[in-house]
A and B are shown apart, each in its own frame.
Chain A
Amino acid sequence: MIRKKLKIINKLGLHARATMQLVNTAARYQSEILIKYKNREVNAKSIMNLMVLAASQGSEIELIVKGEDEEDAAKAVIQLINNRFGEEE
């Protein structure tokens, strides 16, 4: 299992478009990928789950990945978030 604390740095936070990108990235991997924010731990492969989190810019989240391809999966998600989901700010 891989656990990593991350910060949401893009201006719009985990809004609809970013959520879609996260889901598309997570779906490529077999591992279970969870995002923990405040009291909730949700499945990163589900759009509705991620929308419930309402993680805005500056939010501290925890990435929890478990499975055979966890290393690759974690790397991809971390890269996506740290690259601001490809957004300018």
Chain B
Amino acid sequence: MQNNLKTKSLHGTLIKIDDCGVVLAADPGTGKSDLALTLIDRGHVLIADDCIDIIRNENKLLGKCPATTQQFLLIHDVGLINIHQLYSHEHTLNQCEINLIILLVSPEQTKKNEEPLQPLMTHRDILGLLIPEIHLPANKNRPLPLLIEILVKNWMLKKTGYNTVKDFMQRKNKKESG
């Protein structure tokens, strides 16, 4: 019997934003958990904070929360909180498919994004599957939770067939030629 299930654990926070399973990845101390809390407060769903168990099932990557940390979030200076108790059951899930990674990078270390109309996009190989990865400079002065939400929504929109940049370019070209 061929066993297609490969596993590993990933350092990151897994949140479901709309229908998208997003891994927020960053070095410890960057503020992942604070961001996760804000996103939950905005209505999104927590799967796992800080430690995600990853399982590959054929062409899908599933992220699960280890039993010990289910529903918990550790917030610096606030302590351990239980999302079920403070919010509701609708704000947590024990597992979801991973569709996208958002890597929070320090603004000084960021490779300059040559393309101002698009975010910095790459891919990460996890258990043999290529998962899209967006690099977001974690500038504390910017509304990071909103930026993350919009990055995800824009990415999902692109998957439905609407290309924001293409639309803009077409309109611009039309204006220039007309």
- Give CA–CA (A47, B9) in the complex, Å: 15
- Which residues of A40-66 are within 8 A (CB) of B? 40-43, 45-49, 51-52, 54
What are 14 sample pairs from A and B whose C-beta atoms fall under 8 A apart? A39-B9, A40-B66, A42-B51, A43-B11, A43-B28, A45-B27, A46-B51, A47-B50, A48-B51, A48-B69, A49-B50, A52-B51, A52-B66, A52-B68
Judged by a CB distance under 8 angstroms, whether B161 is at the interface is no
Judged by a CB distance under 8 angstroms, whether A9 is at the interface is no
Number of interface residues of B (CB under 8 A): 16
Are A54 and B68 also in contact (CB < 8 A) when A41-B9, A42-B11 are? yes
Number of interface residues of A (CB under 8 A): 15
Q: Would B9 and A48 count as touching, CB distance under 8 A?
A: no
- Which residues of A18-58 are within 8 A (CB) of B? 23, 27, 39-43, 45-49, 51-52, 54
Contact of A46 (CB < 8 Å), options: B7, B28, B53, B66: B28
A residues lining the B interface (CB < 8 Å)? 23, 27, 39-43, 45-49, 51-52, 54
- Give CA–CA (A47, B53) in the complex, Å: 16
Q: Would B7 and A39 count as touching, CB distance under 8 A?
A: yes
How many Å from the CB of B25 to the closest CB on chain A?
11
- Give CA–CA (A27, B68) in the complex, Å: 23
Chain A residues closer than 8 Å to B49, beta-carbon distance: 48
Contact of A49 (CB < 8 Å), options: B8, B27, B51, B72: B51
